[in-house]
Structure 1
Amino acid sequence: MASGARAVTAAVAVLVAAPLAVLALQSGLALRAADLAALRFTVFQALLSAAISCVLAVPLARALARRQFPGRGALLTLLGAPFLLPSIVAVLGIVSVFGRSGWVSQVTGAPFPLYGLTGVLMAHVFFNLPLATRFLLQGWQSIPAERQRLAATLNLPPMARFAHVEAPMLRAHLPGAFVAIFLVCLTSFVVALTLGGGPRATTVELAIYQALRFDFDPGHAAALAAVQAGLAALAVTLAARIALPDLGAGLDRPPVPQSRGRLLDAAVILAATLYLTLPLLAVLAEGLPALSALPAQVWPAALRSVVTALAAAALAVAAALVLALAAARGSRLAELVATLPMVASGLVLGTGWFLLLRPFVRPESLALPATVLTNALMALPFLLRLLLPQARRLHQDYDRLAQATGLTGLTRLRYLTLPRLARPLGLGAGIAAALSMGDLGTIALFADQDQATLPLVVQRLAGAYRMEAASGAALLLVALSFTLFAAFDLGGRHAGK
């Protein structure tokens, strides 16, 4: 097992370092004026998106922590959906609701200015408001109930209660939530591709895509990708210095009732629910009629997406399991290597592999293998975080017993390790498969017309203004993504019994 851990550690390190090294060698960091504008916009929109998401999450998390109401459990589940929802689907739903001919424009009679910075911020808040809320809700529910009851007994005014009970928690949790969301928005590609664009709303990731797909300027793309990797590495370093709260526990603890602010809490919860559900309802309403007449290219693309997702999930789970077991035995190197993919986005890694393979083969011929590999690498840090606590507990509780009874190798894996880690393995495989199903990074660089996955087909249909067909394909994408996630998650739960 030790030799296997060393092999996986070396493989992951090489697969991440090789494309980054190619980018560093070919870039020369010769940036143009437009690149500096894209860099400023990337940082600005990430900072603004993180700030808005965190500010809006404070009253929402506070309301959810204080109120018990019918459907509260379903709303908490909804807060996890945007993480698994394919980005292109959410963007289509936002366009259907807030676009020039969307629901809001039809009701108000005036077109909504969706595209550009406004659209990018709205989409990022859609994805990241739930994430920030989960961070802060965990913090609110970590406040001892006795403190809340003591504040109520003393009849503290709202501002005094906030200053003495809630503000210390926010100071501990908000920085971690802000940095995590900033990192996500820094490497966002689909949102900028669909709702951004133009000289004033181009991100670095979008500029990389344009340099390779439209200008075919590999040196320029390499320079941009090197800058993006540097930005991501800086954000990851900052995140490592700020403890990120755990999302795993506490979301189902009954709230401590509060007598004041019921109407305000109800308004906040209603507004957030509408903002999160209307785009999904729009995709459902517009996609259902189109399911019976989907374009011919949708079905082979859907099959390619499923095969790619299954392969990426298998690779990610196998690598994460080996590295988590090694880290549980004390290997800091294994834990560090498993987090390496966080320093680059899928598009940046794809750009590096594109430049690395181009002298030897046609990159288009390796579109699907490159997509599988990149998606597996990008899912690896999430899976390690899921597996590592359970792997450490398994090592502490059973390692001596296994050694005393001679339980080693594949026998130990089959009868001890896999049954004990079945639940996080199933959940991790579901997350990896769902993330891979919705990926539109590497495949957008490599694929030609015959190798497109379903997210790329949806994006092309939307770009051709075939919105009904795009909505139908998007609905199919959502159904397949959540089916794979549910199948793996339920399978892990069943195996763990």
Structure 2
Amino acid sequence: MYLTTAEFRRSLSAGIMSLAGVIGFIAVAVAALSGFGRIGDAASVMNEPYVWRILRFTLYQAFLSTVLSVALAIPVARAMARRPHFFGRIWIVRLMAVPLGLPVLIGALGIIGIWGRQGLFNDALAFADFGRPLQIYGLQGILIAHVYFNLPLAARLFLAGIERVPQEYFKTAAMLSMPQRSIFRFIEWPVIAPLIPGVAGLVFMLCATSFTLVLILGGGPAATTIEVAIYQALRFDFNPARAVALSGMQIAVTALVLAALALFPKAKDPGASASSDVSRRPDGDHRLSRGIDAGLIAVFLVWLALPLAMIVVKGAGADLPGLLREPAFLRATATSLAIAFSAALVSLALALSFIAATGAIETLRAPGTLERGLAGLMSAMGSLVLLVPPIVLGTGWFLLLRPFGLTDAAAPAIVAGINALMALPFVLRVLRPAVAVHRARTARLSASLGLVGLARLRIVDWPGLRKPTLTALSFAMALSLGDLGAVALFGGDQLTTLPWLLYSRLGSYRTEDANGLALILGALCLVLMIAGTRAPAAKN
């Protein structure tokens, strides 16, 4: 990258200011937890058996969810890899990404519609005179929901790993007449095994910090995670000491999981293939293999599609015109869109500042210890912001603002700030490689033409980075639009977002309205995701 002295200073200053803002936002929340929660009282809370029971349940459900998700993902990924070409395969792969972008609250409603007391599965059993044995609320419901959201993620990661195996390996195995178990043992397992720790750690962290799913499906004190207990301690009991103790416990759990993830080595590249022909896998030609793979893929497809279909069917059965005319809905929609757009812009600005600053430091021939430390810290922000979960950040700011009566006034800004930090890892993941490629292609030419500042932004940078920027912006908006965790403590008459309105209708047993709101919210998020992926590319 070629930068003038002024550009270098501006880039570095923007990165430092953004870093200070992020650290300050998090530090204020953590300091508020310490100052307003009375550390001595919080320490005494740690002696309560209830607190340790919550910790045990949090780790237990996360462990079970991880084992189920990873164990089921491996055969699904192998079946998909053995069938590189069949009608609709690309749509199944795309469907794997839907639970990742689907608001958790909407997914929970779809799961209840299938597996709930009055759900499709129990209806079928009742029709066959088996009664309604499945109870969705409690540990079993949490596991079903976590597997629904995390199985596609794990399967997609394993599938990407298996697809990197050179095709010559499978052709050699066919020539040697190796059975399926030997192919798995000597070809696929060496690729899958190194991926398991990272995939399992990611799923475990997602389940250990789960909030909305446990809030909806937890079923009482016997099935409560740390984040839900923090929310209950402030929202219902207003016990700051317990909230502080649980927040510290949540930060410790998150830090341990992140540290464990950092220790695992990255999976090695299995090698390049001399052939680009992936039209078939020789080991998939057997009739038994075809039948097994077809069955696995069909079950996986039904598992993914049924809750989504239930959302559409039940949502379409609601009074959608009436909902769209409700003043409460219109206010919630306007609030949600304003917060989502603000959060996305802040997240985008932070990501671009970090990328620009690290790029500027990389231009130094001999960066000092301070510069290297700043670059490393900015590069790691995508992971470090996950150290303090949204409910913990919200708790700290809630405790700080409440004595001054500023909770309602500052709530939109706090929620937008928390959502911006939660979207930052994704925005960085989209923009960082795009900016690196763009700079490598255009930096020398821009410098030779003397293009700097706004002129380079208008002529070179914006046309080249328009598509990834709009993708990151739209996806960040979708993530913020469907979030309930950040608004959980601040939601009420003064601050009502679409997820909060949906949750309120669900809590007041207005299920039909909740289903309609779920369909509308899901459609909004889907439109944003499609708009981002179809953003216009730069013209040559």
Normalising by the smaller structure, the TM-score range is: over 0.9
Alignment partner, residue 12 of structure 1: 22
Q: CA deviation at 1:394?
A: 3.2
1:344 aligns with 2:371: no
Change (3 A) 1:221 1:494: same
Alignment partner, residue 266 of structure 1: 294
Q: CA deviation at 1:255?
A: 5.5
1:194 aligns with 2:237: no
Deviates more, 1:220-229 or 1:293-302: 293-302
Q: 1:279 aligns with which of 286, 300, 307?
A: 307
Change (3 A) 1:334 1:259: same
Deviates more, 1:201-210 or 1:402-411: 402-411
Q: Deviations over 1:427-452 (max 9, x none)?
A: 21122111101100121101212421
Normalising by structure 1, what TM-score? 0.94
> How many Å separate the matches in 1 of 2:304 and 2:266?
24
Q: CA deviation at 1:358?
A: 2.3
Q: CA deviation at 1:11?
A: 1.0
1:61 aligns with 2:77: yes
1:122 aligns with 2:144: yes
Q: CA deviation at 1:264?
A: 0.9
> How many Å separate the matches in 2 of 1:436 and 1:211?
24
Change (3 A) 1:217 1:254: farther
> How many Å separate the matches in 1 of 2:359 and 2:154?
29
Q: Deviations over 1:379-399 (max 9, x none)?
A: 111211222222233344433
Alignment partner, residue 38 of structure 1: 54
1:299 aligns with 2:324: no
Alignment partner, residue 88 of structure 1: 105
Change (3 A) 1:431 1:243: farther
Unaligned runs of 5+ in 1: none
Letter in 1 for 2:423: A
The correspondence of residues 26-175 of structure 1 with structure 2, limited to 5 A, is: 26=37, 27=39, 28-29=42-43, 30-31=45-46, 32-67=48-83, 68-109=85-126, 110-111=131-132, 112-175=134-197
Change (3 A) 1:244 1:450: farther
Identity %: 38
* 3-state secondary structure, aligned to 1:10: helix
Q: Which runs of structure 1 show a deviation greater than 6 angstroms over 4 or more consecutive aligned residues? A: none
> How many Å separate the matches in 2 of 1:244 and 1:434?
30
Q: Deviations over 1:239-264 (max 9, x none)?
A: 22225679xxx9x9756351131111
CA contact (8 A) 1:232 1:343 kept: yes
> How many Å separate the matches in 1 of 2:255 and 2:463?
36
> How many Å separate the matches in 2 of 1:312 and 1:23?
24
Letter in 1 for 2:56: R
Letter in 2 for 1:382: F
Letter in 1 for 2:104: S
> How many Å separate the matches in 2 of 1:33 and 1:244?
39
Alignment partner, residue 369 of structure 2: none
1:256 aligns with 2:272: no
1:183 aligns with 2:211: no
> How many Å separate the matches in 1 of 2:280 and 2:399?
53
CA contact (8 A) 1:287 1:472 kept: yes
Q: 1:3 aligns with which of 9, 13, 36?
A: 13
Q: CA deviation at 1:205?
A: 0.5
Q: CA deviation at 1:206?
A: 0.6
1:454 aligns with 2:479: no
1:413 aligns with 2:467: no
Whose radius of gyration is greater, 1 or 2? 2
Q: CA deviation at 1:270?
A: 0.8
Q: CA deviation at 1:332?
A: 1.9
Deviates more, 1:445-454 or 1:404-413: 404-413
Q: CA deviation at 1:416?
A: 2.7
Letter in 1 for 2:281: V
Letter in 2 for 1:140: I
Q: CA RMSD in A?
A: 2.1
Letter in 2 for 1:358: R
Letter in 2 for 1:120: I
> How many Å separate the matches in 1 of 2:203 and 2:280?
26
CA contact (8 A) 2:446 2:456 kept: yes
The correspondence of residues 330-341 of structure 1 with structure 2, limited to 5 A, is: 330=362, 331-341=375-385
Change (3 A) 1:197 1:204: farther
Q: 2:479 aligns with which of 435, 450, 454?
A: 435
> How many Å separate the matches in 2 of 1:402 and 1:216?
58
Q: Deviations over 1:290-335 (max 9, x none)?
A: 1133255223212211221111111111111121222334322321
Q: CA deviation at 1:153?
A: 1.6
> How many Å separate the matches in 1 of 2:158 and 2:444?
39
Normalising by structure 2, what TM-score? 0.87
Q: CA deviation at 1:483?
A: 1.3
> How many Å separate the matches in 2 of 1:121 and 1:490?
34
CA contact (8 A) 2:471 2:531 kept: no
Alignment partner, residue 426 of structure 1: 470
Change (3 A) 1:300 1:253: farther
Alignment partner, residue 533 of structure 2: 489
Alignment partner, residue 23 of structure 1: 33
Deviates more, 1:457-466 or 1:16-25: 16-25
Letter in 1 for 2:338: V
> How many Å separate the matches in 2 of 1:337 and 1:134?
25
CA contact (8 A) 2:343 2:477 kept: yes
Q: Deviations over 1:201-226 (max 9, x none)?
A: 01001100001100011222122111
Alignment length, in residue pairs?
492
Q: Deviations over 1:462-489 (max 9, x none)?
A: 1222211110000000011111222233
1:375 aligns with 2:392: no
Q: Deviations over 1:37-94 (max 9, x none)?
A: 1111111111111111111000111111111221111111100011110111000011
> How many Å separate the matches in 1 of 2:100 and 2:458?
31
1:310 aligns with 2:341: yes
Change (3 A) 1:204 1:391: same
CA contact (8 A) 1:327 1:388 kept: no
* 3-state secondary structure, aligned to 2:19: helix
Alignment partner, residue 229 of structure 1: 251
Q: Deviations over 1:133-169 (max 9, x none)?
A: 1110010101001111111121101111111101100
> How many Å separate the matches in 2 of 1:328 and 1:14?
23
